[in-house]
Structure 1
Amino acid sequence: MKVHVTDLKPGDRLLADTFNELGLHVLQKGTELNDVGIKKLMQHGVDYADIEPAVYQPEITMIHTQQHELLHKTKPLLEQAVDGFESMYLEALATGRFNETVVDDIMEPLVDQLKEHKDIVSLMLCIDQNDDYTYNHSMQVGILSYYIASWLGFSKEEAYEAGRAGYLHDIGKCQIPGSLLNKPGKLTPEEFEEMKRHTIYGHDIIRASTIDSIPALVALQHHERDDGSGYPHAIDKKEIHPFSRITAVADVFSAMSMNRVYQSKQELLTVMRELHSMSFGKLSANATQAFIRHMLPNFIGKHVILSTGETGTIVMTNPADFFRPLVKTEDRFVDLSSEANIGIEQIFL
């Protein structure tokens, strides 16, 4: 059967050699098409192809169903993590310390569940952002710190510790006046100096709450930068704990991809591009690249809204520009690496 190239699907098989209008041979008979092959036909101006349609694969539907069920199963644990951080935050605000057993009561079942997740982008997209920013952000940073440590080859126990430290990294914000935390405009230099002290407050609160020194160090150092431009002590990467460097990556990703009083959330691939840029001197290159390498494949199959108003699906990560993928809309393919005037406004499940 002859179909227009915009209707081709991965798995379709060509029934005849395919040529462009100049007679140049593009793909041979029998080729099973994938996203690259479909794009190649489009690039050569081929309008129609004679194909045997892909056989319907019920396992794809099964995978989607399993993914949905897994996300549904995980959501109560995410909500518990947000609520648990709120209780520790308020306790630390009132007493200067928190009950450390609460941390493991929350993190252990959550990490056990996270081990089942392969698609971390879907996990991030399913998180309800209506909760208080600081509580939700801390939960996200804990999750992402755990994954990044795992992807870097740390042991299960070490990855758990990294996630635990990431979860606690912002506990010091309880000592920052709410007028600063919720200020919609830019902070004055004096206000910013006070805001930076949340790292020191966090270190002191954690040291008062547990004998484990690593989470306290991560709270202190998660705004330090490899080139020495961070705070509170402007140390460089040789002095920054590996878990602090991991949490820094998770912290930046989560902060940029969430709504805050002074900043609207950014589209996830835009955030990934910014992280990539920061990996050249600011953030740990190894941690950032591991994060990007494991996250990017999860964007394939996600639905998007383009700046043109069109809706579509990401079908391929573009090797020419990882953060500008190939998108299939209802009636065309949009190669964002070459369509500079078109962007992704939103990514969703």
Structure 2
Amino acid sequence: MSEDVFNAYGLHVLSKGTPLNEKEISRIFQHQIDYINIERRAGTAAEEPRSRDPFSAYNPLLRPLYYDAVAGAEQLFEKALVEGRIYEDDVKESFQPLVENFRAERDVVSLLLMLNSQDDYTYQHSVQVGMLSYYIARWLGWSEEETVRAGKAGFLHDVGKCRIAEVILNKPARLDDEEYKEIQNHPQYGYEILSRSFDDKGVALAALQHHERVDGTGYPQGLTGDQMHPMAKIVAVADVYSAMISSRVYSEKKDLLFVLRELYELSFKELDPDVTHTFIRHMIPNFIGKRVELSNGEFGTIVMSNPTDFFRPLVHVGEQFIDLSVVRDLSILHVNM
């Protein structure tokens, strides 16, 4: 071991310098520790050169399947514009192969970073919201059938944008009042298309209500939380998160942890608190092992999350461990991959 190892509850498991044999490795598995830092023992075979791609350990099918799903979303939008509807077989062909492969991935943060780029924002956003909606529903304890429906709802939530002119969708400057009103029509357009396409009210309502807010400040109907469909509450959280982390023609991509902090603030007024806090609680452990820059300019690694103070974890900096929940004058500025 090149450093001390602790489990998720802060219990010391192994000390720096411990040789790793079968017993020690078994202990690491028993404590459900995913990552450790080691030094190769003298006299052992040289390590094979590592790929510079930090995501080489991921399922190699994910990247091509993701871009297939993005291309599939574009085709769905085009067909919806021409025919006024979409087809179940097309959705399954586009999105289901990706679902089958990403459901086993545990590090959602790295997965999103790997699959996020500046191209095809509208279609990438649809795929990301589908993925995140699937994860959120699963984290909420929904059945597998309902979880897949939530993923489908997220994937199709923006299909109404097929009726919005591209000059408005991709406008680099601020929208004027008329353009903004037209953008606000896309939930209704999506509801009409999906109601015509499927005998599934929940999926159609998720499209209609994903810009509604639990405090009644959303659109198009100004609904409050008790009036929103549960699927729409999930898609709303996924939609906001994906939009904030994405590179767009009119917005800078934001740090993933910073966005979670913004979501946390929104959970007290606009977004459903149960859905949002479930999402944050399950996303935060994904940051364990990630390099971070602190507000004092130092760099470290997150080694343990804090279940009562999401954004102030335990950070390993040099030879010391800094508990940000105790050292309140320090904070995380950026998460670096």
The TM tier, using the shorter chain, reads 0.7 to 0.9
The answer to whether residue 266 in structure 2 is matched with residue 278 in structure 1 is yes
Change (3 A) 1:53 1:341: closer
Change (3 A) 1:234 1:123: same
1:53 to 8, 17, 32: 17
Greater shift in the superposed pair: 292-301 or 67-76 = 67-76
Match of 2:227, SS? coil
1:9 aligns with 2:8: no
TM value normalised by structure 1: 0.78
Match of 2:57 among 63, 66, 69: 69
Deviation of residue 235 (structure 1)?
A: 1.1
Q: Structure 2: which 5+ runs fail to align?
A: 36-49
What's the CA shift string for 1:88-121, capped at 9, x where partnerless?
Answer: 1122233333333111123322222233122222
Equivalenced residues, count: 309
Asked if structure 2 preserves the Cα contact closer than 8 Å seen for 1:148 and 1:291, the reply is: yes
Provide Cα deviations, 1:131-187, integer angstroms capped at 9, x if missing partner: 311111110100110111111111100100010011000111121122221222332
State the shift of 1:73 in Å. 3.0
Give CA-to-partner distance per residue, 1:1-51, whole Å, 9 cap, x none.
xxxxxx98224xxxxxxxxxxxxxxxxxxxx8999589xxxxxxxxxxxx7
Cα drift, residue 308 of structure 1: 6.0
Per the TM alignment, residue 188 of structure 1 is displaced from its structure 2 partner at its CA by 2.6
Q: 1:138 aligns with which of 120, 126, 141?
A: 126
Residues 253-286 of structure 1: per-residue CA shift (max 9 Å, x gap): 1111111122111111111111111112311111
Structure 2 distance, partners of 1:340, 1:192, is 41
Alignment match, 1:347: 336
Q: Any idea what the Cα deviations from partners look like across 1:279-305, whole Å, max 9, x if unmatched?
A: 123111111111111111111001234
**In structure 1, how many angstroms separate the alpha carbons of the residues matched to 2:336 and 2:157?**
28
Q: Report the counterpart of residue 17 of structure 1 in structure 2.
A: none
- C-alpha distance in 1 between matches for 2:239 and 2:76: 19
Query: Percent same amino acid among aligned pairs?
Result: 46
Contact 2:188 2:208 in 1 (8 A): yes
Q: Distance in 1 between matches of 2:171 and 2:188?
A: 21
Match of 1:101 in 2: 89
CA distance in 2, matches of 1:114, 1:242: 23
Shifted more, 234-243 versus 200-209: the winner is 200-209
Residue 126 (structure 1) shift: 1.4
Q: Quick one: distance in 2 between partners of 1:72 and 1:175?
A: 35
Q: CA deviation at 1:75?
A: 1.9
Q: Would you say the 8 A contact 2:73–2:94 is kept in 1?
A: no
**Partner amino acid, structure 2, of 1:276:** Y
| 1:58 CA displacement | 6.8
| Deviation, structure 1 residue 342 | 5.3
Bigger Rg over Cα: 1
Match of 2:213 in 1: 225
Q: Whole-Å Cα distance in 1 between the matches of residues 233 and 168 of structure 2?
A: 26
**Is 1:79 the counterpart of 2:73 in the alignment?**
no
- Structure 2 residue aligned with 1:326: 314
Q: Which of 290, 294, 314 matches 2:278?
A: 290
Partner of 1:28: none
| Secondary structure of 1:184's aligned partner | coil
> Is contact 2:116-2:246 (8 Å) kept?
no
Q: Provide the TM-score with structure 2 as the length reference.
A: 0.81
User: When you count strand as a share of all residues, which structure comes out higher?
Assistant: 1
- Structure 1 residues 326 and 208: CA distance shift in structure 2, 3 A: same
Alpha-carbon separation, structure 1, partners of 2:202 and 2:64: 28
Q: Residues 1-349 of structure 1 correspond to what in structure 2 (within 5 A)?
A: 9-11=3-5, 53-56=17-20, 68-306=56-294, 310-318=298-306, 321-330=309-318, 333=321, 336=324, 338=327, 340=329, 343-348=332-337
**Mapped partners of 1:291, 1:91: distance in 2:** 33
Q: Give, in whole Å, the separation in 2 of the partners of 1:79 and 1:310.
A: 37
String of CA shifts for 1:219-259, please: whole Å, max 9, x gaps. Answer: 10001111111100001122211000010011111111111
Query: Do 1:306 and 1:346's aligned partners in 2 also have CA atoms closer than 8 Å?
Result: no
1:10·1:35 contact (CA, 8 Å) conserved in 2?
A: no
Q: Hey, what's the Cα distance between the residues in 2 that align with 1:138 and 1:321? A: 31
Partners of 2:204 and 2:274 in 1: CA distance? 23
State the secondary structure of the residue aligned to 2:311.
Answer: strand
Structure 1: 5+ residue stretches without partners: 1-6, 12-31, 39-50
